[in-house]
């Protein structure tokens, strides 16, 4: 059996705790170092998770020969830089979502991954629920026919993240579109069998975020004067084969929290949230015995999968090469919102 994967974690903020918990549960990997530009954060994580070494610079941590792989858990602006450094140092990378600030950066990461002959997996954690894999199998088996339209709503009443740098465009690349939209797009696109996107149209708003009305259950506070992103997005992506995905995404809106996903197929349909229900499958009008989404630690599944891919030389189920397509869709929606025009996503 291959040896344990030795890991360094870059960034010791909110999401890194989920990675560190995942590594603690994974008997095939071991965190040997953690790094954060804020020394106390790295030290606190090291103490809590019994990690031998801490650093304030990723470069110095990556010089550790024993490290096989890293988790990149920094703000979006640093994803490309840390990933490129890690690949150049010969490490595999699990990078948090979104893959990067935009598709151009993402492509640079893909090119570097190919050159380094290492793995680049993206933390698209919704793909790692048991229910997600169950659903994907049902769709691949054609049980709901051809899924032709999907709609995903991810709307918080008062949920601008009250930590980190989420409201700052120059550090994150965008607001709820890139933060929540990446999940909404990725999950539906993956479940639909990754159809080729051809155009995007979208509109963004900021009425609550910059006026300080976005504060609620998602952290202790944010500075509205630094809020430089949208707070709400509506959009639609068209795919080459005539299918489509519609989106409504928000960090703050005058409504109740609303997480709602539907997939409409020629022979059946699926409701994923608030509960997982399959309609019109195999002659039945409603099947609700599917494993519910959100009932397990998807991050632990994600970390175990990363370790498995490294140890067995397999391709991850959420590779950078797929995340770059999602980044293209996000860029297209943002451009459509800026210009008021439909944006072509065709590459040829
Ligand atoms: N998978 C998910 O659903 C999910 C959820 C939350 C956050 N995220 C992603 O995780 C990333 C981080 O978000 P967060 O909520 O943990 O933010 P955070 O602000 O809590 O943590 C980021 C940490 O990175 C550190 N950092 C910044 N630059 C660094 C550098 N150059 N080197 C080392 N450390 C550095 C910061 O000091 C901070 O401690 C973002 O890209 C975000 O989109 C993903």
Quick: pLDDT tens for 52-110: 999 999 999 999 999 999 999 999 999 999 999 999 999 999 999 999 999 999 999 99
Give yes or no: residues 143 and 209 share one domain: yes
Mean pLDDT across 200-218 = 92
Give yes or no: residues 271 and 139 share one domain: yes
pLDDT score, position 281: 84
Strands (E), the chain: 5-10, 29-35, 53-55, 69-72, 92-96, 120-123, 147-155, 197-205, 232-239, 244-250, 258-265, 269-273, 277-281, 284-287, 343-344
Give yes or no: residues 53 and 16 share one domain: yes
pLDDT at 295 over 80: no
Testing ligand 1's pocket by substitution, the residue of 18, 38, 73 carrying the most ligand atoms inside 8 A of its CB is 73
Residue 210 beta carbon below 6 angstroms from any ligand 1 atom: no
Give yes or no: residues 143 and 278 share one domain: yes
Q: Which atom of ligand 1 is nearest to the CA of 179?
A: 43
All residues at 6 or more sequence positions from 153 whose CB lies less than 8 Å from its CB, including other chains? 247, 248, 249, 258, 259, 260, 261
Quick: pLDDT tens for 5-35: 999 999 999 999 999 999 999 999 999 999 9
Residue 118 beta carbon below 6 angstroms from any ligand 1 atom: no
- In sign, the C-alpha dihedral spanning 223, 229, 235, 240 is negative
Give yes or no: residues 236 and 333 share one domain: yes
d(CA 177, CA 192): 20
d(CA 92, CA 16): 17
pLDDT at 218 over 90: no
Which residue did the predictor score with more confidence, 97 or 272?
A: 97
Nearest to 333 by CA among 159, 174, 210: 174
Beta-bridge partners for 219: 162
- Cβ distance 70 to 8 under 8 Å? yes
Give yes or no: residues 240 and 160 share one domain: yes
Question: Torsion angle of alpha carbons 9, 67, 312, 87, nearest 10°?
Answer: 80
Which residue did the predictor score with more confidence, 137 or 289?
A: 137
Residue 166 Cα to ligand 1 midpoint, Å, equals 9
CATH code (residue 303): 3.40.50.720
Residue 117 Cα to ligand 1 midpoint, Å, equals 26
- Among 42-56, 125-139, 199-213, whose mean pLDDT is lowest? 125-139
Name the residue with the closest Cα to ligand 1, atom 5. 15
pLDDT score, position 70: 98
Residue 60 beta carbon below 6 angstroms from any ligand 1 atom: no
Residue 16 Cα to ligand 1 midpoint, Å, equals 7
pLDDT score, position 297: 86
pLDDT at 124 over 70: yes
* Residue owning tokens 């680049």: 120
Give yes or no: residues 152 and 87 share one domain: no
Residue 58 Cα to ligand 1 midpoint, Å, equals 14
* 268 band by pLDDT with thresholds 50, 70 and 90: very high
Q: How far out from the chain centre does Cα 137 lie?
A: 21
Give me the percent of the chain exceeding a pLDDT of 90. 86
Residue 126 beta carbon below 6 angstroms from any ligand 1 atom: no
Give yes or no: residues 30 and 75 share one domain: yes
CATH code (residue 163): 3.30.360.10
- Cβ distance 312 to 170 under 8 Å? no
Give yes or no: residues 160 and 291 share one domain: yes
Q: Which atom of ligand 1 is nearest to the CA of 78?
A: 31
Residue positions counted in the chain: 348
pLDDT score, position 348: 65
Residue 38 beta carbon below 6 angstroms from any ligand 1 atom: yes
Q: CB 294: neighbour CB atoms within 10 A?
A: 14
pLDDT score, position 286: 85
Give yes or no: residues 241 and 278 share one domain: yes
* 294 band by pLDDT with thresholds 50, 70 and 90: low
Q: For 172-201, b where at least 16 C-beta lie within 10 A, e where not — what string?
A: bbbbbbbbbbbbbbbbbbbbbeebebbbbb
- In sign, the C-alpha dihedral spanning 178, 181, 183, 187 is negative
Q: Is 253 exposed, middle or buried (0-12, 13-18, 19+ CB in 10 A)?
A: buried
Give yes or no: residues 84 and 143 share one domain: no
Beta-bridge partners for 269: 264, 279
Q: Which atom of ligand 1 is nearest to the CA of 38?
A: 37
Range of the domain at 335: 129-295+327-344
d(CA 10, CA 60): 11
Query: What's the Cα-to-Cα distance from 212 to each of 69, 159, 163, 165, 179, rounded to whole Å?
Result: 40, 11, 14, 15, 19
Query: What's the Cα-to-Cα distance from 90 to each of 1, 63, 85, rounded to whole Å?
Result: 22, 10, 9
Query: What's the Cα-to-Cα distance from 82 to each of 1, 25, 40, 330, rounded to whole Å?
Result: 30, 25, 20, 22
How many domains does one find in the chain? Answer: 2
Residue 348 Cα to ligand 1 midpoint, Å, equals 35
Give yes or no: residues 114 and 140 share one domain: no
Testing ligand 1's pocket by substitution, the residue of 74, 169, 293, 303 carrying the most ligand atoms inside 8 A of its CB is 74
* 221 band by pLDDT with thresholds 50, 70 and 90: confident
């Amino acid at each position: 059996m291959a040896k344990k994967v030795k890991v360094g974690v870059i960034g010791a903020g909110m999401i890194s705790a989920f990675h560190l918990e995942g590594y603690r549960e994974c008997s095939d990997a071991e965190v040997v170092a953690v790094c954060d530009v804020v020394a106390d954060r790295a030290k606190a994580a090291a103490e809590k998770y019994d990690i031998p070494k801490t650093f304030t610079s990723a470069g110095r941590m990556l010089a550790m020969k024993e490290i096989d792989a890293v988790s990149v858990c920094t703000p979006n602006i640093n994803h490309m830089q840390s990933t490129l450094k890690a690949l150049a140092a010969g490490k595999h990378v699990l990078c948090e979502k979104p893959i990067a600030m935009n598709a151009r950066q993402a492509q640079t990461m893909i090119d570097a991954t190919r050159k380094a002959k290492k793995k680049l997996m993206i933390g698209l954690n919704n793909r790692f629920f048991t229910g997600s894999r169950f659903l994907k199998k049902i769709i691949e088996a054609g049980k709901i026919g051809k899924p032709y339209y999907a709609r995903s709503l991810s709307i918080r009443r008062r949920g601008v993240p009250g930590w980190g740098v989420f409201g700052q465009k120059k550090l994150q690349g965008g607001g709820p579109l890139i933060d929540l939209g990446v999940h909404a797009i990725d999950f539906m696109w993956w479940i639909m069998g990754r159809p080729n996107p051809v155009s995007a149209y979208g509109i963004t708003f900021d009425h609550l975020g910059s006026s300080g009305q976005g504060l609620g259950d998602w952290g202790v506070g944010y500075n509205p004067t630094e809020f430089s992103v949208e707070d709400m997005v509506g959009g639609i992506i068209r795919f080459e084969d005539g299918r489509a995905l519609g989106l409504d995404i928000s960090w703050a809106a005058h409504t109740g929290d609303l997480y709602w996903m539907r997939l409409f197929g020629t022979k059946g349909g699926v409701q994923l949230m608030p509960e997982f229900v399959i309609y019109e499958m195999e002659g039945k009008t409603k099947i609700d015995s599917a494993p519910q989404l959100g009932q397990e630690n998807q991050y632990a599944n994600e970390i175990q999968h990363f370790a498995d891919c490294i140890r067995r030389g397999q391709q991850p189920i959420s590779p950078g090469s797929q995340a770059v397509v999602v980044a293209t869709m996000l860029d297209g929606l943002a451009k459509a919102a800026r210009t008021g025009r439909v944006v072509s996503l065709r590459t040829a």
